[in-house]
A = this chain, B = another copy of it.
Amino acid sequence: MSRRIRLGMVGGGEGSFIGAAHRVAARLDDEYELVAAALSSDAARAQSSGAKLHLAPQRCYENYAAMAQAEGARSDGIDVVAIVTPNHLHVPVARAFLEQGIHVICDKPLGISVAEVEDLRRQVQSSGLMLMVTHTYSAYPMVRHARALVQQGAIGDVRVVQVEYAQDWLSEPLELTGQKQAAWRSNPALAGPAGALGDIGTHAFHLAEFVTGLRTEAVCAGLSTFVPGRTLDDDVQVMLRFQGGARGMLWASQVAVGNSNRLQLRVYGSQGGLHFDHAKQDQLLFSKLGAAEQTIYRGSTAANSSAAAATRLPCGHPEGYFEAFANLYREFAASWRQYQLGSSQTGNYPDIADGCRGVAFIDSTLKSSASGGHWVAL
C-alpha cells in the first residue's frame, strides 16, 4: 500500500463536534495521517490541543494563513486540508490552501454567498485541484443503493420527492447559554444568512438531488424563526419543482421536539417507491408497484454493488455516521491516488459543483421566503 495521505485541519479544536468527526472519518480506513492543524487562534491552546492529537509542536499553527504558507513550503507538507470552521471562513481558507496547491475537504455549506462560492469554483477549476464538500448523508450505503435504483429505472419516472431533516436541539435559545455549537450557528456573521436552512436544509436538498438525479428548477419557501430573540431561521418549509415535472417538499427544522437528527427521504415514481430513514440507516424500504414491500439491509445479498462498495461490516452489524463520513474520505483518498498518477479523478463524493448548488439553493430559498412565498428559479 502506498503511503498515508498527509492531512491538515483548520478549525476543530476542543468542543467542536464536526472536527472530531472528520478526524475519525479520516482515521477509520487508515488512509490518512493528521500531521498539521490550526486548531485555535490562541497560541498556547493551539499547542495543547495539537499535542492531544499527537501533532508535532511546530505544525500546530495559530492561523490558517500561516499554516497554508508553511505547509505549502514543506517537502513533506500536507496533501489535503480539512476545513471545519464556521461557515464564513470556508471560502477564504479554501482559497489560501488551493493557492498552495493543496487539495481541500470542506464542511457544508460551502460558503455564505453565491458570489464567493462562484469565485471559488473558478479557482478550483483553474487549479485542477480537488475539492470535496462533506454532505455525509449521501455516503450511507443504502442511500447509494437508492440512487442506483433510481438510475436503473427501478421506480420509473420520478413523480414525488419528500425530504425532511428534523432536529430539536435549538427548541430553546441554547445560543444564549454560550453553547459553542449553537452560538456560531445563530450568528449571521459566522453562519451566513441562513440558519436551519444552511445547516441542515442543504443536506436535505443535496440528498434529494443526489438520489433522484434530478435538478430542482424552482422553490417556493417559508422560513420561520420560532424561538424568541433568535436572528436566523430555525424552521424552513419549501415546495420544489424538479426538471421533468416531479414535485417535492422539503422541511428542515431545529425545533421539532422529539427529533434529535431525523433525516428522511422518500421518492415515488411511476413504478415504485423508496424510503430512506436515517434513524434506520442500515436499511432501505423499496416498493415495486403490485409487489410486496422489501426491506433491503446493508451487507445482505439483496444490497446492490453501490451499497456494497460503501460497506465495511457484515449485515446485522450496525454501521453509522462515522462510517458514512469515512466513505467520503476513502473515496477522496482514491481520487487523490489517481490524481498522483496523473489520471483524471472522479468520485461519488460531493464536489465543488454540489457545494455551489447548495449555496444557490440557500439563496433562492431566502429570496422566495422574503417575497412572501413566490416561486423563485434555482
Contacts and interface: CB of A to CB of B under 8 A. Distances in A.
Interface of A: 1, 4, 17, 20-21, 23-24, 27-28, 30, 51-54, 155, 159-160, 162, 164, 167-169, 171-172, 220, 222, 224, 226, 235, 237, 239, 241, 245, 247-249, 251, 253, 255-262, 266, 268-275, 278-279, 281-282, 285-297, 299-302, 312-323, 372-375
A286 B257 CA distance: 9
A220 B373 contact: yes
A256 B300 CA distance: 15
Nearest to A318: B320
29 contacts: A17-B314, A24-B28, A24-B312, A27-B30, A159-B224, A160-B255, A160-B256, A162-B164, A162-B251, A168-B268, A220-B222, A224-B247, A237-B247, A253-B268, A256-B268, A256-B273, A257-B269, A258-B272, A258-B274, A258-B286, A259-B316, A279-B318, A281-B318, A282-B320, A286-B292, A291-B301, A319-B322, A372-B375, A373-B375
Given A52-B1, A313-B321, A258 B278 contact: no
Contacts of A273: 168, 256-259
Contacts of A220: 220, 222, 239, 373
Contact of A317 (B155, B261, B296): B261
Copies held by the complex: 4
A321 to B, nearest CB: 4
